Structure 1
Amino acid sequence: MPAMKPYTKLMNWPVDFIDVPGASTTASYIEAAVSALHDGQIAYLIPMPEALQFEGFVDAMITAGLGDRVCGLTKEASFLEGDKAACYQFCDEAEVPVAPEWIVGDLRDYRLFLGTSLKYLEHHGGLYVKFPYSAAGKGSRFIGSPWDIRHVYQGLLDDYGKTYEKLFPSGKPWPILFASYMNAIEVSFTALVDQFGHFQILPTGMDYQGRYSGPITTKNTITGGMASVSPHPVQSPALLKLARKQIFEPFIEGMRRKKILRPCILYPGCMVYFNADGCPWDIRLCEMNIRAPEPEFQTMAWLIKNFGHLVEAIFKGNLDEVVPEIRNDQIAMTLALVTGPGPGSEYPGYPWRHKPGEPMVLNLSALKKNNVTMIPAGMGYNEATKTFVSDGTRVAYLIGAVTVSGKARSEVANELRAKLYRLFEAGVVRTIPSENPMGNRLVVRDDVGTHFMIAEQVFHRTTS
């Protein structure tokens, strides 16, 4: 069984669970949600993950007369995340800036693939080639050199060829999105939106997407997220104002014109351009998500004092009146503990092939002593042995926060970073390798939290 329910019980957290009978299908979730809302077990519902919205969960709630108590988009509107090519077209119509150059092609046309890649390499220094449909954050591939082209092309065919065959039988084109590289700073934004289009932007986040530190390459692939810090090291009132004017306002107005606006969460990943004074002057959307970000939401939510009131305002339609109360004197950081290599070369580790099912050991007293919280992710629970086990992916997160008081943000961030890494090295959370009972299968990315110092050095300023 999944680990979250027994873990919350172990931690004595005031969290209730609603059991979903049978298999974890959209239909079973709909049945459980309708029952819980009708019976008053819950007041409001925000469906996760995004696949539920793709598969008509919100539509079913509307049909059941419960649409005003559910936050999320209909199946018709879910293309905003579920079809990246269609979303780029929507953004063009709504005048939301995206990559300077992009096209949708047919993956089976290698000559087009090659020609587009070479053109974007020449004009933009690189490109992202994106499987446009849901792929758990792994459908985007970066091409930074002509030598990458064939490798990326074959990888997309190998990973998504069977999916394409199911979606587009009888020789129909296989859509693939080509988007020119944007050499800027990536920032994750999140906004809560009500039925009238009122919205509030939450603290920004920095998502560490690559498996390792450094630029994305064919060997440093994009993952579902290796870590996050909030606020983003470059967050400022000017940045939030720019995102409001150039991203959220035209995007939400486009939803209104298309008649798909309803209470929802919008989570755009954006590229931001700065001038020599460190001021943001342009922003472009990479892709839109219609859910809370992961893992960024762990750190964003930590900084919000009145999150419950904000959620309530989504459903009451008065987000124009309820303003986020933010702990502006704090930094929050989360570190993903992922499955490393082994046993043997056949298991290179997350996000590639990884060893599942190994037992885990948790030192909860050490975490509590250091004011650090562990959140299960890819963890299971063995009811027979009363033990937690790893599923081999992103297994868990370590989350902490620190108050900035009389110091530069970079100095405080380094202190928090050092604590999280020290606890990891001490083995407070371990997956026990089958070949080494004293070892730890878990690994982490090594540069989380360093970008506060880098931002200060680049822009010759402090972020205190």
Structure 2
Amino acid sequence: MKVMVIGSGGREHALAWKLAQSKRIKKIYCVPGNGGTALEQKCENVNISDVKDIALFAKENNVKLTVVGPEDYLVNGIVDEFKKYDLKIIGPDKKAASLEGSKVFAKNFAKKYGVQTANYEVFDNYTKALDYLKNVKFPVVIKADGLAAGKGVTIVNDFSEAQEAVTNLMEKGIFSGAGKRIVVEQFLKGFEMSVFILLDGKSYRIFQTAKDHKKALEGEKGANTGGMGAISPHPEFKGELKRKIQRKIIEPTIEGIIKEKLEYTGILFIGLMIKEDEPYLLEYNVRFGDPETQAILPLLETDLLEVFEHVENRELENLKLKWKNAVSCCVVAASKGYPFNYEKGFEIKVNATSDISTIFFAGVKYKNGKLLTNGGRVLAVVELGKDILEARYRVYNSIKRVHFKNIYYRKDIGKV
């Protein structure tokens, strides 16, 4: 069988790596892939980006199943395009992808179906937004309505910070129009949790959980990033809290998807804030997380192709998921200066030993037989352990073997 993975990050390298372990798969097209997928077994990078061209390539090359990594392809309707050719693809259609593509759509959806979430107001007028912010209790959260590569959320502590955030989004358009509308949301203090749900259009299964570390600096400080590391499973997903998440978040979400007739076969990533033992929806993401996927997939014992086939064939109720009895810790190695300004083009060297951990490459290109840094988040190192202490000990020993100029990584992943 030939399959395709769309995207160029560490998440896509992890998906390709896991799919390559399936004995039934002989080739994986990575579109466009990166320096890591270029070297991964069974993988071939294909440099095309247009949705229609990708669909035609899949048809012409007899691709049996396609997995979409990044949200922008889904929001731009790649699933709808594939369906025109009767091609199998994992992910929601364009309308369903609005759960991530529009923060306003997601918040209104949550309110309509009783999904527990923070109070909010929506603005498409700069002056009205500032007038509202003059009278709120700080801190509050300001979110760009559209896609902003995981960086469109700002926590502001006073009116001055709020004015700067709103100006950047609505007036300066720093996210290419994603902030023409904004959501001003109640700030919730607690701890975060990522819950991943498999959907086949009629039923769902909880896939796995993770704890993401989004801030650039240790102690969860500094700017928001795409993610500096993750652990899996989340240690607090159990008991009464687990039951509350199912009752107050997951079940009304599934009810809403069915009632709204959203075409959704794929993975739904639900970002939660847990405040005083109560779960609140922070956001929906209509795809696998990054770097959560890198932490989760090494724990999965079930053939990932089998998982996707159960989703595509609407047979989730028959899927038997098997996980290793272990904890995973993933640490992202970034270029110094990320998520702002950083240099690229430095050679990556790994002092490999027989027990080197799993490395998933992201902002990396393969040129003249060398791996070179080519982005902010360069790679992720992943280790498993019987508990988080062992996993952390192993991953921080392993990441010392990875070298490139201006390497930066947090030392507290899994600790805070």
Q: Give the TM-score range, shorter chain.
A: 0.7 to 0.9
Given that residues 38 and 45 in structure 2 are in contact (C-alpha distance below 8 angstroms), is that contact kept between their aligned partners in structure 1?
no
Question: What is residue 351 of structure 1 aligned with on the other side?
Answer: 339
Partners of 2:262 and 2:227 in 1: CA distance: 29
Partners of 2:215 and 2:135 in 1: CA distance: 24
2:64 to 39, 43, 60: 43
C-alpha distance 353-271 of structure 1, shift in aligned 2 (>3 A):
same
1:8-60 C-alpha deviation (Å, 9 max, x unpaired): 1xxxx3x333635xx42222222222333xx2xx4322222111111111111
1:72-111 C-alpha deviation (Å, 9 max, x unpaired): 1111222110011111111111211111x201113522x6
Partners of 1:380 and 1:311 in 2: CA distance: 28
The reply to whether residue 229 of structure 1 matches residue 231 of structure 2 is yes
Task: Give 5+ residue unaligned stretches, structure 1.
Answer: 168-172, 275-279, 341-348, 404-408, 433-440, 452-464
User: Match of 1:269, as an amino acid?
Assistant: G
Given that residues 51 and 81 in structure 2 are in contact (C-alpha distance below 8 angstroms), is that contact kept between their aligned partners in structure 1?
no
User: Match of 1:160, as an amino acid?
Assistant: G
Partners of 2:393 and 2:172 in 1: CA distance: 37
Question: What is residue 248 of structure 1 aligned with on the other side?
Answer: 250
Q: Secondary structure at the match of 1:211?
A: strand
The reply to whether residue 390 of structure 1 matches residue 373 of structure 2 is yes
Question: What is residue 194 of structure 1 aligned with on the other side?
Answer: 200
Aligned-pair distance for 1:447? 1.0
Partners of 2:43 and 2:393 in 1: CA distance: 34
The reply to whether residue 58 of structure 1 matches residue 79 of structure 2 is yes
Partners of 1:5 and 1:214 in 2: CA distance: 32
> Please, what is the CA RMSD of the aligned residues?
2.2
C-alpha distance 159-24 of structure 1, shift in aligned 2 (>3 A):
farther
Residues 113-192 of structure 1 aligned to structure 2 (within 5 Å): 113=130, 115-116=132-133, 118-121=135-138, 126-157=139-170, 160=173, 163-164=176-177, 174-192=180-198
Partners of 2:409 and 2:197 in 1: CA distance: 29
Question: What is residue 333 of structure 1 aligned with on the other side?
Answer: 329
User: Match of 1:56, as an amino acid?
Assistant: G
Larger radius of gyration: 1
1:262-299 C-alpha deviation (Å, 9 max, x unpaired): 3121001011234xxxxx4x211101010011111122
Question: What is residue 123 of structure 2 aligned with on the other side?
Answer: 105
How many residue pairs get aligned? The number is 383
The reply to whether residue 447 of structure 1 matches residue 412 of structure 2 is yes
Structure with more strand by fraction: 2
Question: What is residue 21 of structure 2 aligned with on the other side?
Answer: none
Question: What is residue 96 of structure 1 aligned with on the other side?
Answer: 115
User: Match of 1:312, as an amino acid?
Assistant: E
Partners of 1:444 and 1:159 in 2: CA distance: 31
The reply to whether residue 373 of structure 1 matches residue 358 of structure 2 is yes
User: Match of 1:369, as an amino acid?
Assistant: D
Question: What is residue 3 of structure 2 aligned with on the other side?
Answer: none
Given that residues 203 and 303 in structure 1 are in contact (C-alpha distance below 8 angstroms), is that contact kept between their aligned partners in structure 2?
no
Partners of 1:224 and 1:388 in 2: CA distance: 22
Question: What is residue 392 of structure 2 aligned with on the other side?
Answer: 417
Partners of 2:175 and 2:290 in 1: CA distance: 27
Question: What is residue 212 of structure 1 aligned with on the other side?
Answer: 217
Q: Secondary structure at the match of 2:395?
A: helix
Question: What is residue 287 of structure 2 aligned with on the other side?
Answer: 291
Task: Give 5+ residue unaligned stretches, structure 2.
Answer: 1-32
C-alpha distance 264-392 of structure 1, shift in aligned 2 (>3 A):
closer
Q: Secondary structure at the match of 1:245?
A: helix
Given that residues 3 and 381 in structure 1 are in contact (C-alpha distance below 8 angstroms), is that contact kept between their aligned partners in structure 2?
yes
Partners of 1:420 and 1:107 in 2: CA distance: 47
Aligned-pair distance for 1:113? 2.5
Given that residues 201 and 258 in structure 2 are in contact (C-alpha distance below 8 angstroms), is that contact kept between their aligned partners in structure 1?
no
Aligned-pair distance for 1:157? 4.9
Aligned-pair distance for 1:387? 0.9
User: Match of 2:214, as an amino acid?
Assistant: Q
- Percent identity over the alignment is 22
Q: Secondary structure at the match of 1:76?
A: coil
User: Match of 2:156, as an amino acid?
Assistant: I
Question: What is residue 39 of structure 2 aligned with on the other side?
Answer: 7
Q: Secondary structure at the match of 1:312?
A: helix
Q: Secondary structure at the match of 2:70?
A: coil
1:209-232 C-alpha deviation (Å, 9 max, x unpaired): 00012355xxx1110000000011
User: Match of 1:291, as an amino acid?
Assistant: R
Q: Secondary structure at the match of 2:323?
A: coil
* TM-score between the two structures when normalised by the length of structure 2: 0.86
Given that residues 187 and 271 in structure 1 are in contact (C-alpha distance below 8 angstroms), is that contact kept between their aligned partners in structure 2?
yes
